[in-house]
């Protein structure tokens, strides 16, 4: 998208067109593009693209149908629930002051910070900055935001804290999890930021490499945030923002559940055998390496310290989304022929498939076993005591 295209989309004429076609389904957008081109509507391609992005953004932002996005801007932006949570964490420390968002993108973080604090929103991309300005107006917080078109490196001043979400790209513009392939280069920029203030919130890829993080200065807290058991965000908290070594935060609607600890400090007991129930912790807990802490808290036994699966004789009470729970119906050492026999004997035509430390992709297992997705049963493929096992469980 260009600035001229965005100026048209935000004009009275552009807004009328967007409003007229806001209910067009994604599958009908190619037809709409053809219709608008025949009518010689200006920037018809950008109109259709924005309608598509607004539809895709519905799960991220309540006001998505009024907002302005680019493909990269929407992909990079944290959703509303995560941005609101992060803003509240920052507000707890910065009671009255200014926070600088060094890579504001389309404004996701800046908007929710501006509900509590003054914000300096910086971005080198003029289109993204303009999107952020318009999106802030939709949320009624533009008066609390100073929008700055410029480099992050040139705006390391006049602030009590930084938040930064650098683009993660490498040669060829492909996405990468590595912090070494970020723009701006966070490895070079972070020491400069720390000279201004240690209070920094750095967003990184949820698929980050712990070895890279351990090489950074500042000894940050590592927080993983999940929604619907998908890790949507990973944040490094520096300075006074750092509360613990590791944190796993699970967001489920309006509910937030947090578990904290220091990896390896609490060693949970291991089970001699599988009990009646299997518990698989939320992916945020697994990525934060807090399985031992959570197992100890709920008095569960891990099946091994190399595997996150937990087991117990009884059902336990826990907040929503903390575990996936299964009643163990039977289990055995794995072979493909025995698994097919099990499926035939139980007359299963569909089942969920989970593979943990197994070395075979769940979708490849599904194709080989010719099972449809869904149903009341789950096949859990895992390694235990150096051997591969298959567990048939009933979903709880």
DSSP string covering 187-232, please? HHHHHHHHHH-S-EEEEE-TT--HHHHHTSTT--EEEEEEETTEEE
Give the span between the Cα atoms of 24 and 52, in whole angstroms. Answer: 9
pLDDT tens string 326-352: 999 999 999 999 999 999 999 999 999
State residue 185's pLDDT score.
Answer: 93
Confidence (pLDDT) at 385 = 83
* Percent of the chain surpassing pLDDT 70: 98
- In which band, very low, low, confident or very high, does the pLDDT at 308 lie, cut at 50, 70 and 90? very high
Q: Can you tell me whether residue 134 is helix, strand or coil?
A: helix
Residue with tokens 């932006």: 77
**CATH fourth-level superfamily of 75-243:** Vaccinia Virus protein VP39 (3.40.50.150)
Distance of CA 269 to the CA centre of its chain: 30
In this prediction, residue 170 has a pLDDT band, given cuts at 50, 70 and 90, of low
Handedness of CA 22, 28, 30, 33 (dihedral sign): negative
**Is the confidence at residue 36, as pLDDT, over 60?**
yes
Residue 14 has pLDDT above 70, yes or no: yes
Q: Is the pLDDT of residue 358 over 70?
A: yes
pLDDT average, residue stretch 208-217: 94
pLDDT, residue 306, reads 85
Residue 172 has pLDDT above 80, yes or no: no
Higher pLDDT among residues 386 and 315, named by residue:
315
Cβ contact 239:273 at 8 Å: no
Count of positions (residues) in the chain: 396
Q: Hey, is 212 helix, strand or coil?
A: helix
pTM of this prediction exceeds 0.85: yes
pLDDT surpasses 70 at 236 = yes
Omega before 182 within 30 of 0, i.e. cis: no
Instruction: Work out whether strand 98-101 and strand 118-123 pair parallel, antiparallel, or are unpaired.
Output: parallel
Return the pLDDT at 173: 52
* The pLDDT of residue 171: 53
Q: 276 is written with which tokens?
A: 């009646």
Q: How far is CA 60 from CA 55, 69, 91, 107, in A?
A: 10, 12, 22, 13
Structure tokens at 213: 């993080």
> Residue 139: which residues within 8 A CB-CB, separation 6 or more?
63, 111, 114
Q: Is the pLDDT of residue 391 over 70?
A: yes
- Mean pLDDT for 163-187 is 80
Quick one: pLDDT at residue 175? 60
Query: pLDDT tens-digit profile of 45-96?
Result: 999 999 999 999 998 999 999 999 999 999 999 999 999 999 999 999 998 8
In the three-class reduction of DSSP (H, G, I as helix; E, B as strand; rest coil), residue 32 is classed as helix
For the chain, give the mean pLDDT. 94
Sorting pLDDT into bands at 50, 70 and 90, what band is 176? low
Domain segments of the chain as ranges:
3-57, 75-243, 277-395
């Amino acid at each position: 998208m260009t600035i001229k295209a965005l100026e048209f989309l935000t004009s009275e004429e552009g807004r009328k067109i967007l409003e007229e076609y806001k209910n067009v389904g994604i599958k009908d957008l190619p037809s709409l593009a053809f219709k608008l081109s025949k009518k010689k509507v200006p920037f018809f391609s950008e109109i259709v693209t924005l309608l598509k992005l607004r539809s895709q953004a519905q799960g991220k932002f309540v006001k998505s149908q009024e907002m302005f996005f680019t493909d990269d801007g929407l992909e990079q932006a944290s959703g509303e629930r995560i941005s609101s949570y992060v803003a509240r964490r920052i507000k707890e420390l910065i009671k009255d002051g200014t926070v600088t968002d060094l890579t504001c993108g389309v404004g996701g973080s800046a908007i929710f910070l501006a509900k509590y604090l003054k914000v300096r929103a910086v971005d080198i991309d003029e289109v993204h900055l303009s999107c952020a300005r318009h999106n802030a107006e939709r949320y009624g917080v533009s008066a609390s935001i100073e929008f700055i078109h410029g480099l992050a490196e040139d705006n390391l001043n006049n602030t009590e804290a930084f938040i930064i979400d650098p683009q993660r790209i490498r040669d060829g513009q492909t996405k990468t999890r590595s912090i070494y392939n970020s723009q701006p280069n966070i490895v070079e920029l972070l020491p400069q930021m720390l000279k201004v203030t240690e209070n920094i919130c750095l967003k990184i890829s949820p698929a980050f490499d712990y070895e890279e993080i351990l090489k950074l200065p500042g000894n940050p807290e590592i927080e993983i945030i999940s929604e619907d058991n998908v890790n949507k965000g990973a944040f490094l908290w520096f300075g006074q923002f750092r509360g613990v070594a590791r944190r796993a935060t699970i967001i489920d609607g309006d509910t937030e559940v947090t578990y904290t600890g220091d990896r390896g400090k609490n060693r949970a007991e291991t089970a001699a055998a599988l009990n009646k129930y299997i518990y698989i912790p939320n992916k945020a807990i697994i990525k934060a390496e807090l399985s031992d802490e959570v197992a100890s808290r709920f008095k569960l036994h891990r099946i091994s310290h190399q595997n996150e699966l937990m087991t117990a004789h009884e059902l336990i009470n826990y907040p929503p989304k903390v575990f996936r729970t299964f009643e163990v119906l039977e289990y055995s050492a794995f072979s493909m022929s025995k698994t097919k026999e099990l499926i035939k004997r139980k007359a299963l035509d569909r089942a969920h498939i989970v593979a943990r430390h197994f070395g075979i992709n769940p979708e490849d297992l599904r194709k080989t076993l010719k099972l449809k997705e869904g149903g009341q049963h789950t096949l859990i493929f895992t390694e235990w005591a150096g051997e591969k096992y298959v567990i048939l469980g009933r979903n709880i």
